[in-house]
A and B are shown apart, each in its own frame.
Chain A
Amino acid sequence: MDLSVLATLNAEREARRATVLVTDIAAGTQRLVKQQDITADPLSELLEKQLRMGKSGMVEAAGQAWFLTVQAPHPRVVVTGAVHISQAMAPMAKTLDLDLVIIDPRTAFATPERFPEVTLLPEWPEEVIPRIGLDGYTAFVALTHDPKIDDPGLDAALRSNCFYIGALGSRKTHAKRVERLTAAGFDEEAIARIHAPIGLDIGAVSPAEIALSILAEIVNTLRGPRRKPA
């Protein structure tokens, strides 16, 4: 492996951009394909398929064996609301190897004591989200119930290609949210990206159970169901 290839690979990963390292096993030669160059690559179909699955693997094309090292950015969950549910979510996200970022301008809520070992940003979403960016490997979750905090976050998420968007609230709360987002110019299709009511329907009651149902829905969206119906 060329040191320059390794360096580019690390730099792209740090910038949260996907890459695929294509190794010709027989010849020992390699090339690094950046995300934006995949469609132009001779192996584009195979590269896209592996990247979609987020999996490295051996592939065969034109009688040749290639190993594809897939470097997909680390999945991340960005939450508005340093609330009880996100507190419960923190240790679960860590176990699931999901990076958790919590945004809440209310400094009484967003304290390191309540959120140890979490990226905690006590700022307004409209200020902080442009800085951290939302991408195709990010899930956005709105948990405050407060439109002043949740709406700017949802606005940014709907303008991004986040793989998951969810918002806490009753059907009534969500209906009002839909009205506000419609007034802000989002169409039905865009608003339908929001999972609301949020979380898999496991009958969650406690904050921890709701956190579990939300994370389960995120994993489900990220990986997709595999079992075929009987």
Chain B
Amino acid sequence: MISTDTDILRAAEEWSRSGRQVAVATVVETWGSAPRPVGSHLVIDADGNFVGSVSGGCVEGAVVTEAADVIADGKARMLEFGVADETAWKVGLSCGGRIKVYVEKVS
């Protein structure tokens, strides 16, 4: 079945312990028909490998890109995606939902 949040956070710990640079993205707020509930995680490494999901595929690409910056400078970021935002439309959250994603580095 689909990976659970347990597996995802365990992956974050394992990746980090094996020396990989890791960021954790968490859905912190949703409005409208957001596809993944608040608390969903996406775990990303410096090479852009990832497990989990924050939107069911719509904005993962953008989150992975931002995660590279978070890993580089260690500063947590709040990302917002929604139909009002042209970029968000481009990255595909066209279902009418809006989500806020918090991305932080594991250190």
| A pairs with B | yes
Interface of A toward B, CB cutoff 8 Å: 1-3, 6-7, 9-10, 13, 23, 25, 28, 55-58, 67, 69-71, 74, 94, 97
- Closest residue of B by beta carbon distance from A57: B38
State in angstroms the CA–CA spacing of A9 and B24 once bound together: 14
Residues of B within 8 A of A94 (CB): 1
Segment at the A interface, from B4-12, B51-59, B61-69:
B4-12
- Closest residue of A by beta carbon distance from B14: A10
4 other A-B residue contacts (CB within 8 Å) besides A2-B106, A67-B26: A6-B12, A9-B9, A28-B76, A28-B104
B49 is an interface residue with CB less than 8 A from chain A: no
State in angstroms the CA–CA spacing of A9 and B37 once bound together: 20
With both chains docked as a complex, state the minimum distance between the C-beta of A70 and any C-beta of chain B, in angstroms: 7
| Contact call A1/B24, Cβ cutoff below 8 A | yes
Q: Could you list 9 A-B pairs, sorted by A, with CB under 8 Å? A: A1-B24, A2-B107, A6-B12, A7-B13, A9-B9, A10-B6, A58-B38, A69-B39, A97-B1
* Residue with the greatest number of chain B CB neighbours at <10 A, chosen from A2, A6, A10, A70: A6
* Residue interface bits B87-107, CB-to-A below 8 A is 1, else 0: 000000000000000101111
Given A56-B38, A69-B39: A6 in contact with B28 (beta carbons within 8 A): no
Q: Which of B1, B29, B107 contacts A3 (CB 8 A)?
A: B107
| Contact call B38/A55, Cβ cutoff below 8 A | yes
Q: Which of A1, A10, A13, A97 contacts B105 (CB 8 A)?
A: A1
| Contact call A1/B1, Cβ cutoff below 8 A | no
Residues of B within 8 A of A58 (CB): 28-29, 38
Given A1-B106, A67-B28, A67-B102: A6 in contact with B16 (beta carbons within 8 A): yes
State in angstroms the CA–CA spacing of A74 and B7 once bound together: 12
Residues of B within 8 A of A97 (CB): 1, 4
With both chains docked as a complex, state the minimum distance between the C-beta of B41 and any C-beta of chain A, in angstroms: 9
| Contact call A74/B6, Cβ cutoff below 8 A | yes
- Closest residue of B by beta carbon distance from A67: B28
State in angstroms the CA–CA spacing of A3 and B24 once bound together: 11
State in angstroms the CA–CA spacing of A28 and B73 once bound together: 14
* Residue with the greatest number of chain B CB neighbours at <10 A, chosen from A1, A25, A74: A1
B84 is an interface residue with CB less than 8 A from chain A: no
| Contact call A3/B16, Cβ cutoff below 8 A | yes
State in angstroms the CA–CA spacing of A2 and B9 once bound together: 13
State in angstroms the CA–CA spacing of A28 and B78 once bound together: 10
Residues of B within 8 A of A10 (CB): 6, 9-10, 13
User: Which 9 pairs from chain A and chain B are nearest by CB?
Assistant: A56-B39, A28-B76, A67-B28, A6-B13, A56-B38, A1-B106, A1-B104, A3-B16, A57-B38
| Contact call B78/A6, Cβ cutoff below 8 A | no
